[in-house]
Structure formats: structure tokens, C-alpha cells
Chains A and B, each alone.
Chain A
């Protein structure tokens, strides 16, 4: 399944966060990578990925730091991992030999 840059980032961050992947933690990680996005954009992106079957979500336990509200926990599915790998390979292949890749070495 074809995905875009933002969807790839969501999958990659959710995968690296593992059991601790949910809206706020994904947003914090993206901001740290220099890719700040609004809560709405992240939720809509997660909706899209869930609709495509690339992630599965469930409601987590409410915590005090969230004002007693539940988290939307995210798990990357096998199809999600496959789609992310395909996207990464495509970018990697397309980038080989290009000028700016040579300059970063």
C-alpha cells in the first residue's frame, strides 16, 4: 500500500516508541525531529493509517498528567511495517547518487 511522507513518519515514530506510542508521545518525538505537527494533524493521520489497516489503535488507561483522560495507543501492524519498509526502500533507491547525498558524506 502506497503511503506518503507524513504517514511514513508516523509509522516510523510509532514503531520506535513501541508500547509507548500514542498521540502526545508521537507529537513530542516528531517535534524533536524538527517536524512539529498539530494534535489534529496527528489524529487525522492516525485515522487514515488505521483505515488503511497499517496501524491498530486501542484506548489506554487514563493518567493523572492527562487530567484523567485516556490515551489512544498505537500499534503498527504487519501491513504497516511492510508499507513503511517499501517507502523507505523507494526513498533510499531514489536518493542514491544524487548530489545532496554525496555532499552529506
Chain B
């Protein structure tokens, strides 16, 4: 077996590689047969996670959720920016808004990261790209005035924390309290009562939190896909 075939075999998990190379060796397969068999298995292994419907649900929802998270990130940064610039007595209302948006950003990003890890851990790179693409487009069109452009990515830190938490299987109480905090942050938005789009966005933001809470509550430690 030559070096290129061994390099191809290295794309397989270690246990798989030994078994498959052993089988091919025993079958006295030619180099061409080995190449096609290895390529087929590498492709099968790489594409296997995409047979899960949850990966496609994640891929569909992530760009939408990313846009909402960017909106919250920018809104939060704008409030902080205006609070920083003005000292004219409007501070308490701005502070309340900053608190509400911070709570919303933290809870929704953490639960979105967690649900992505729970639903489609093995396609993490693709999901990350699906989240990054809308962020990069927004960055490209970001206006020169106002808070700095890096505020677009504020949601990434709590989302990464959510992924980390999901891999460590958090206690259900953490999720229930996060979901409760998220609902509180959403319901305290005065626009919710009269703006249909705000209601729709709020419903979308709650979905990951509800998914995580119910999945971890019902399936406990076997929740990871």
C-alpha cells in the first residue's frame, strides 16, 4: 500500500482505519480497489451526520437566529454607546434597556449555542459557517457612525459558552432558569404588544431555549446527538 492510500486511510477514525485496511489486505484488493473502497468509506463517514433531519433544521434556523442575535447585539451596543455619550438624566431608562438587552442577548445566545450542540454536534464547522456568513454580510454593510463594528459579534461569546455547556451536560434547573429569564426579557419589551414582527422574532428566539430545556429534561445525559 503506497503513501497516498495510507494518507487517504488517515481520514478515517483510528479504529475504522485498522479494520478496513485489514479487510482490504485480507481480500487481496488491488490499489485501485483500495482507493475506491477507502474513498467511498471516507465519503460515507463524512456525509453520515447529514442524514439527521436535525442538522437541516439547524442549518435553516441558524442564519435567521444569527440575524436576530446581530440585531440584539447592535441594539445593546447602541444603547451603551448613547449612554456613554449622554449624561443628561436619561440614564435610568437607558440602564434598564441595557439590562434587558444584555439578559436577552445572553440567554438567547447561550440557549441557541446549546441547542445547536445538542442537535448537530458533528456538523459544528458547517453550522459555524452558517452563523458567520450573515454576520460577515452585516459587517460589510455596517455604517461608519455609531458603536464599533465588532459589536456585531457580541453574541458569539455567549453562544460559544452555550456549546461548551451543552458538552458538559448542565443541570436542568440552569436551563429552566435561563428560559425563564429569556421570557422575562422578551415580555418586558414594550413593542411586543403591538408589533407583529417583534412577536414573531420573540417566538423564534424562544425555540432553542424550549428545545434545550425539554431535551435535557426528557433525555438527561443521553441528549447529545
Chain A residues proximal to chain B, CB less than 8 Å: 22-24, 27-28, 38-44, 59, 62-63, 65-67, 69-72
Contacts and interface: CB of A to CB of B under 8 A. Distances in A.
B199 interface: no
A39 B44 CA distance: 11
Contacts of A39: 20, 23-24, 27, 29, 37, 41
Contacts of A69: 18-19, 21-22, 25
Interface of B: 15-16, 18-27, 29, 36-38, 40-41, 44, 48
Contacts of A43: 16, 19-20, 23, 41
Contacts of A24: 22-23, 26-27
Interface of A is mostly: helix
B21 A41 contact: no
B117 to A, nearest CB: 20
Contacts of B21: 67, 69
A66 B26 contact: yes
Interface of B is mostly: helix
Given A41-B40, A69-B22, A72-B19, 4 more contacts: A23-B19, A38-B37, A39-B41, A63-B22
Contacts of B24: 39
12 contacts: A22-B23, A23-B22, A24-B22, A24-B23, A27-B27, A39-B41, A43-B23, A59-B15, A59-B18, A69-B21, A70-B22, A71-B22
Contacts of A23: 19-20, 22-23
Contacts of A28: 27
A65 B19 contact: no
Nearest to B36: A38
Nearest to A73: B19
Contact of B44 (A27, A40, A62, A70): A40
Nearest to A40: B41
Contact of A65 (B15, B26, B29, B48): B26
Most chain A beta-carbon neighbours within 10 Å: one of B19, B38, B48? B19
Nearest to B15: A59
A32 B186 CA distance: 65
B41 to A, nearest CB: 3
A105 B20 CA distance: 41
A78 B209 CA distance: 40
A65 to B, nearest CB: 6
B26 A70 contact: no
Contacts of B20: 23, 39-40, 43
A39 B29 CA distance: 10
B19 to A, nearest CB: 4
Nearest to A65: B26
A70 B18 contact: yes
